[in-house]
Structure 1
């Protein structure tokens, strides 16, 4: 068995490699070559933690496995470790034997950022110049770095429930040579692209706070009850997602579907745009929304790639299991 420890991931996995891995697996999903297994995600009744399993199988790449982990909201304050904790296990698709175990913490942040970046690449207007960020936690910096590479953004605006965290975004923007401005939620009307990356269970962004032509990437809702934007925004938008079943059950679309504002058939796979089966954005005035629920195949794709990179670099740990 190959082990790629968490400490090795930062030196091995690049944003470009993560983008390519996620883009490929989204396309494979839309083509029917890859599928996710049902998600198990539960509140465990200890430390306010959410814990679960995501897995799947990609026939095109023969990638089989699962990610186990979740969200421990008190980790950073109480223990000095990040709140999201996970590990990916890959299996040999031909034999079922365990193939690799990979640290999943940084990979989760990279694949989540890559997913929103893929949505921006394929759905945002080419002339998008102002990037809006809602949320300034651990994963927000990854989101911002990946997003800034997709268009020629000239300004970043940001909002966070706790404004004292906004310098986390300002630092990333300044490193990229882009000015940053803190705004109230109404200021998001200036944005051409908006990324929400929070753990909210109540709508933050209202439908009237998004201008025509905006692309919105909702990246924080991955559990029943979570919510980042008003359901009316999905009714105004053309909605895309990583996987439709997850979108309407545990993703941002769950609320709009429950209210009857949209139906399951109104949610499209982003992979269909990548494959050319869906035109994607059809006008400069259209609002597009990507409901990034976080599918297991994303984790398997980036984990499989980092295993390859570790082997190429001679940094994979071999264990007789």
Structure 2
């Protein structure tokens, strides 16, 4: 069995590697040659933690396995990332465990890659202002990935605790792009693309705060009950997602579907846009919304890439298991 420790990940895989892996697996999902298994995600009744499993199989790449982990909100006090996860890969021909890969950084990178894919295919080509709601650990990865997709000229940000926006301001400074902390009204009025990456159980962004032509990448809702944007905003948008089944059960669309404001059949899996089977955005005034629920196949795709890179660079640990 191959082990790739968490400490090795940053030196092995790039944001571009993750973008390519996620884009390819979304396309495979749309071709029905890759599929996710049912998600298990539960509050465990200890340390306020959410814990679960995401798994799947890609018949094209033969990636088979699962990611085990979750969200421990008190880890900040212990100088640990709140998100903790490990990816296990299995040999599709024999069922033997092939690899164990540290999943913390990979989770942040693959989540950012998914929103970046949505920006590539759904945001207006003339998008100039990027808005970010949320300034937690994953927000920096989101910002860096988004900046590769459009020549943004300004970044605006909002967070419940404004002091945390300094991490986004630092990234903006690296790229010589102006950054401004704003209220939600201004963010919606100025931003052409809005990324939401907040762990929220109540809507933060309202429909009347978003102007026509905006693309939203809603990346923080991955559990039943979570919600980042108002249901009326979801209903007013053309909704795309990574996987419809997750979108309507644990994603941002769960509330609009539950209220009868949106039908599951109206939601488009982004792989169809990547494959050219759906046009994506059809007008400059259309509001597009990507409901990024986070699918197991994303984790397997990036973990598989990491294993290949670790073997090629000689940093993989091999054990008899």
State the TM-score bracket (shorter-chain normalisation): over 0.9
Q: 1:288, 1:225 → 2: CA distance? A: 22
Question: Aligned residue for 2:33?
Answer: 33
TM-score, length of structure 1 as denominator length: 0.99
Question: Aligned residue for 1:185?
Answer: 184
Question: Aligned residue for 2:253?
Answer: 253
Question: Aligned residue for 2:150?
Answer: 151
Question: Aligned residue for 2:270?
Answer: 270
| Higher deviation after alignment, 310-319 or 48-57 | 310-319
Correspondence 1:112 to 2:111: yes
Q: 2:173, 2:210 → 1: CA distance? A: 25
| SS, match of residue 28 in structure 2 | helix
Deviation per residue, 1:181-236 (Å, 9 max, x gap) = 01100012210000000100000000111110010000000000000000001111
Cα drift, residue 16 of structure 1: 0.3
Q: 2:51, 2:142 → 1: CA distance? A: 23
Correspondence 1:169 to 2:168: yes
Q: 1:47, 1:177 → 2: CA distance? A: 40
Question: Aligned residue for 1:301?
Answer: 301
| SS, match of residue 24 in structure 2 | helix
| Higher deviation after alignment, 100-109 or 164-173 | 164-173
Give 1:196-275 correspondences, 5 Å limit.
196-275=196-275
Cα drift, residue 176 of structure 1: 1.3
Question: Aligned residue for 1:58?
Answer: 58
| SS, match of residue 173 in structure 2 | helix
Question: Aligned residue for 1:292?
Answer: 292
Q: 1:242, 1:187 → 2: CA distance? A: 29
| SS, match of residue 255 in structure 1 | helix
Question: Aligned residue for 1:93?
Answer: 92
Q: 1:181, 1:103 → 2: CA distance? A: 35
| SS, match of residue 21 in structure 1 | helix
Q: 1:210, 1:317 → 2: CA distance? A: 49
Cα drift, residue 279 of structure 1: 0.2
| SS, match of residue 12 in structure 1 | coil
| SS, match of residue 74 in structure 1 | helix
Any stretches of 5+ residues in structure 1 without a counterpart? none
Q: 1:6, 1:171 → 2: CA distance? A: 25
Cα drift, residue 14 of structure 1: 0.1
Any stretches of 5+ residues in structure 2 without a counterpart? none
Q: 2:89, 2:308 → 1: CA distance? A: 12
Q: 2:236, 2:190 → 1: CA distance? A: 17
Number of residues of Structure 1 aligned to a counterpart in Structure 2: 320
| SS, match of residue 124 in structure 2 | coil
Q: 2:221, 2:212 → 1: CA distance? A: 23
Cα drift, residue 46 of structure 1: 0.2
Q: 1:91, 1:198 → 2: CA distance? A: 32
Q: 1:26, 1:59 → 2: CA distance? A: 13
Q: 1:174, 1:193 → 2: CA distance? A: 19
Q: 1:89, 1:116 → 2: CA distance? A: 24
Deviation per residue, 1:116-143 (Å, 9 max, x gap) = 0000000000000000000000000000
Question: Aligned residue for 1:132?
Answer: 131
Correspondence 1:43 to 2:43: yes
Deviation per residue, 1:161-196 (Å, 9 max, x gap) = 111101111001111111100110001221000000
Compute the RMSD of aligned alpha carbons: 0.4
Q: 1:296, 1:183 → 2: CA distance? A: 34
| SS, match of residue 222 in structure 2 | coil
